[in-house]
Amino acid sequence: MNENRNLTREAARGLSWSGTTLLARVLLHVLVTAVLARLLSPREYGIVGAAMIIAAIGNNLANLGMSQVVVQRRDIEERHVGTVVSLSMMMAAILGLLQWVFARQIADFLRVPELVLVSRVLAVMMVANAFNLTTEALLSRHLKFKISSMARLVAWIASHVGLAIPLAYFGLSYWALVVAYMAEAFILASIYFFIARDYLVSPRFDMQSYRDIRSQSLGYSLAGISSFTAKYIDNIIVARLIGTAELGIYSRAYYLIAMPANLFGNLNKSVVFPLLSKVHHDNARLRSAQLKAYALTAALSIPTSAFLCCFAKEVVLTVLGEKWMDAVVPITVFSVVMYFRLGYRVSGAVMLATGQSYQTAFMAFVYMSLVASFALLSAPYGVNAVAFAVSGAIATSFILYAAVGCRMTGLSALDFALVHVPPVAFAAAVFATGSAVKMLLAGSPDYLVLATGLFVTGTLSVVTVYLRASLLFGKYGAEVLQTLTSKQTNRMH
C-alpha cells in the first residue's frame, strides 16, 4: 500500500511539473501560431512541414529504440549508457550525411523543390537531437521531471519567440521556422549538457553492452519507426498527391489539435512510461496505474475535444485568420478523435513498460498500415476526406490497443468503460454550454464568442473540480489530484 501511495505521489509530482510547463508551452504555441499564421502563407507552412518530416525520419532512425531501453531496463549500467550514447550519435551523424547527399532526391519525391537546401541545413541538427533524446531518457529514468520539462520550455521560448517571430516579420519566409527549429535543438542540447552532467556518460562502445540491449532496442526501434510512419505518412501523401499549399492547411489543422494532444501525450511519455516501468513486475500495481492514466487522459482530453468541436470556426478565425478557413473541417474532425489519439498511448506505455517491445512494434505496424491505407484511398477526394479517413484509422487503432493493453494487465472491459463515464458526461455538458454561448452571441465577433466560451466552460470546469472532482476525473483520477493537492498543502505549511 505504501508503494502504491509512493507511485501516486511520484505521478502527481511529475504531472504537476511536466503538466504546468507543457500547458505554458501550449498557450505560448497558440500565441506564436496566431502571429506566424499572419506572417506566413499556407504554402510556406507546407514547405516547413515537409522539411520536418525528413528531419523526424532521421531522429527516429538514429535512436534505434535505445532511449526506451534506458528508461525501462531495470539493471542499466554506465557501460550500457555509454554504448547508447555512442551508437545514437554515430547513427545521427551517418543519417545527417545521407540527408545532405540525397536532398535533391528527397525534394523531387515530395515535389517540393525548396527542400533541397532546407534538408541540407536541417541535417546539421541531427546529432544534437540524438543527444537530446538520450539525455531526456536518462532524466526520465531518474524521475527528474522538473528540470527536463523546464529545459524544453526555455529552449522553445528562446527559439520560437526570440527568433521565429522576428525573422518572419523581417521577411525571411519559411526560413524563420527552419532557423527556429535548429536553434531549439542546439539550445536544448546546451541546457541538457549542463543540468544532466551527473547522469551523462562519455560515449564508448562496448560489444557486450550492445548485446545486452540489442534485442529489446530492436523491438522498440521497429515500434518507433511504425509509429513515426503513422504520424507522418498522411502528410507525405497530401504533399505528393494533393499539393504543398494543401499540406500547409492539413498540417496546421493537425498541429492546432496536436498542441493539446501533445500536452497529454508528452506527459504520457515523460511521466507515465517511466513510472509504469518502475512497477511493471507487479501486475496489480500496473493495472491500478493504467486506470489512473486512462482516467487522467480522458478527463483532460475528452472535454477539450468537445470544446474544440464546438468552437472550431472561431478558433481558426481568431488564431490563424481568414486565409486559413479551409482548415475548419479538418480541425473539427481531428478534434473528435483527440482522445483516441492519446488513449492508445496509454496502452502503448503499458506494453513498453513491461518490455513487450515486439508486441509494441506489431501494434504500431497495424496502426501505421491503417493510417497509410485510409489516407491513400481518400487522397483523390481532397484534404477533408483525408482528415475523415485518418481519424477513422486513429479510432480503430485505439480500440485495438485498448484490447491488447487490458488483456496484458487483466483490466476488465467494465472497469475500462466505467473510467470513461465521468469525462464523457462532462464533455457533453461542455458541448451543450458552448452551443448555448454561440446561440446567445450569434453575430458577435468570433474572438468574443471564443473568449466567452473559454470563460464559461473554464468556470464550469473549475467549479466542478472544486466541488466534486470525481464528476470529471472519476475515482482514479481524483485520487491522483488529491495526492497532488495534499502535497501542495503540506508544502505551504
Cell numbers placing 341: 489519439
Which residues, in sequence order, are CB contacts of 446 under 8 Å at separation 6+?
313, 314, 317, 318
User: Reduced to 3 states, what is the DSSP secondary structure of residue 20?
Assistant: helix
Please say if the pLDDT value at position 130 is more than 90: no
One-letter amino acid at 34 equals A
Task: Please state which of the ranges 287-301, 383-397, 435-449 shows the lowest mean pLDDT.
Answer: 287-301
Cβ neighbours of 456 (radius 10 Å) = 16
Backbone angles phi, psi at 111, to 5 degrees: 60, 40
Kindly report the length of the chain: 493
Which residues, in sequence order, are CB contacts of 27 under 8 Å at separation 6+?
none
Cell numbers placing 452: 466567452
Cβ neighbours of 308 (radius 10 Å) = 20
Which residues, in sequence order, are CB contacts of 488 under 8 Å at separation 6+?
none
Across 11-15, 216-220, 482-486, which has the greatest mean pLDDT?
216-220
Per-chain mean pLDDT for the chain: 79
Q: Which residue would you say has higher pLDDT here, 340 or 262?
A: 340
Query: What are the distances in angstroms from CA 183 to CA 125, 139, 162?
Result: 9, 22, 10
Cβ neighbours of 435 (radius 10 Å) = 14
- In eight-state DSSP terms, residue 444 is S
One-letter amino acid at 108 equals D
Q: What is the pLDDT of residue 450?
A: 93
User: Reduced to 3 states, what is the DSSP secondary structure of residue 196?
Assistant: coil
- The alpha carbons of the chain give a radius of gyration, in whole angstroms, of 22
121's torsion region: left (phi>0), alpha (psi -120 to 50) or beta?
alpha
Please say if the pLDDT value at position 340 is more than 70: yes
Q: pLDDT tens, 200-221?
A: 777 777 777 767 766 666 666 6
pTM of the model: 0.70
Cell numbers placing 287: 493495472
pLDDT band at 158 (very low <50, low <70, confident <90, very high): very high
Q: Which residue would you say has higher pLDDT here, 263 or 196?
A: 196
Domain ranges of the chain: 2-492
Compute the CA torsion angle 226, 232, 173, 155 (nearest 10 deg). Answer: -50
Q: pLDDT tens, 49-58?
A: 788 777 777 6
